Each structure stands twice: as C-alpha cells, then as structure tokens.
Amino acid sequence: MNKEQDILLNEGKMLPVMEHFYTIQGEGAHTGKAAYFIRLGGCDVGCHWCDVKESWNPDLHPLMNAEEIAETAAKHCKIVVLTGGEPLMWNLNILTSKLKELGCTIHIETSGAYPMSGQLDWITLSPKKTGLPKEEIYAKAHELKMIIFNNNDFKFAEEQAAKVSENCRLYLQSEWSKRDEMYPKITDFILANPRWQASVQTHKYLNIP
C-alpha cells in the first residue's frame, strides 16, 4: 500500500473489500431477508473458530472506491449488511453516506472492539472475549449475538447481556462445528431463560453465501 492509498483508506474513500454479494440474510432478527453483503478485510480480534480467517489480513484484499461499491450494492437491494473481518476498523462515513443517499438501510455485524463510524440503522453486536466492545456501543446495539462454542460461553453471554439496553434482542448461536453438541444446550438454556432466542446459520443449511 502506497502513501496515497493509505490516506484514502484513512479517509474512508477506499476500503479493503474481501467480497461483496447479493444473498439472503441467514442469521438473527432479519433472517430470510434479501440483503447485499459487503465484507471488509481486516480483523485483529482473533477468534480461533472464525470461519472467515482469510479476511483477517487487509493487505490481501483489493482497495475499492467506497462510493462505487455503494452504488453496486444499491442496484441489487436496499438492505446492505457491512461485515468482515471487523468492519469498524475502517472509516465508514463515506460508504454509509452514499448508501443513505441511494435509499439504503444499513446493517452492520461487529464485535464492537473499535469505535463506531458511519450512519447505521441496525447494529448486530457479537462480543468476543479476545477483544471486548467499546462501552459506548452496548447502548446502541439492536441485537446481541453470542456465539456458543463451549459451556463457559453461556456465562459470558449473560455478562454481555447485562450491558445492552432492555430493547436489545438477545440471540444465542452455536459455533458451526459444535452445532450438534451445543444446540441442545442452547435449547435448554433458552427454556430456562426465555428472554433469549436461538439464532441458526440458515444460509449454511441453504448452501448460499
């Protein structure tokens, strides 16, 4: 990356885009809705079970013009999901301003480990032990999605749920490789704690991106 590209990246005019595609949202409150996903490269949270480790190094992904990727997304769908990697590593102001100009509703999936930027309509907060959310993000989250990999994650989920607003929707989602083991436990936990809901990666069952 040269100096000029670095400046454009910091300004949010260019962003490292791993992939972008039109699909159906597979998780959480908006499951089943058509959405255009923009997956940004770069993440240092370091979840050992991450299913998109190839997104971690931003240098592996091409820098794209933020306004141009917004225009591409808006042609397909007016719900746009920003994901990663960790999308809040980058300045999202220009990308989201252009999406708003084009009439889009903007969702983000984030660990919350970086400060907020951009205009966001729906915030899915998925905290990780390796990089906890910034305190100010908890109150802004619309849904809390906790990934359950082992039994200790239920305690972590409750600790995180205590920090979000009372209107935030609470989801438990098994890590994909542990789904046969953890979903029965998630079911029992939800029956005992009915404020929680189950989230399932339906896109993997449908075999879509």
Q: How confident is the model at residue 58 (pLDDT cuts 50, 70, 90)?
A: confident
Whether 41 is in a domain gets the answer: yes
For the entire predicted model, the pTM comes to 0.94
Q: Which pLDDT band holds residue 51 (cuts at 50, 70, 90)?
A: low
pLDDT value, residue 66: 98
Query: Within a domain: residue 130?
Result: yes
The CATH number that applies at residue 1 is: 3.20.20.70
**Helix ranges restricted to H, the chain:** 3-11, 66-76, 93-101, 135-138, 152-161, 179-192, 202-206
Residues annotated within the binding site for substrate are 24-26, 39, 83, 209
Does residue 156 lie in a domain region?
Answer: yes
- Known binding residues for S-adenosyl-L-methionine are 49-51, 85, 126-128
Q: Is the pLDDT of residue 203 over 80?
A: yes
Q: Is the pLDDT of residue 48 over 90?
A: no
Average pLDDT over residues 80-102: 97
Q: Domain range holding 167?
A: 1-204
pLDDT over 90 for what percent of the chain?
86
Preceding peptide of 12 cis, ω within 30°: no
Domain count, the chain: 1
Residue 105 within any structural domain of the chain: yes
Average pLDDT over residues 81-85: 94
57-61, 120-124, 187-191, 198-202: range with lowest mean pLDDT: 57-61
Residues annotated within a binding site for [4Fe-4S] cluster: 43, 47, 50
Q: Do residues 110 and 127 lie in contact, with contact meaning Cβ atoms separated by under 8 Å? A: no
**pLDDT reported for residue 49:** 64
| Residue 163 placed within a domain | yes
State how far Cα 121 lies from the chain centre: 13
pLDDT in tens, 112-161: 999 999 999 999 999 999 899 999 999 999 999 999 999 999 999 999 99
Examine residue 209 and state whether it is found in any structural domain, yes or no.
no
Residue 198 phi, psi (nearest 5): -90, 140
Helix (H, G, I), strand (E, B) or coil at 83: strand
Q: Which residues are annotated as a binding site?
A: 24-26, 39, 43, 47, 49-51, 83, 85, 126-128, 209
- Is pLDDT at 68 greater than 70 in this prediction? yes
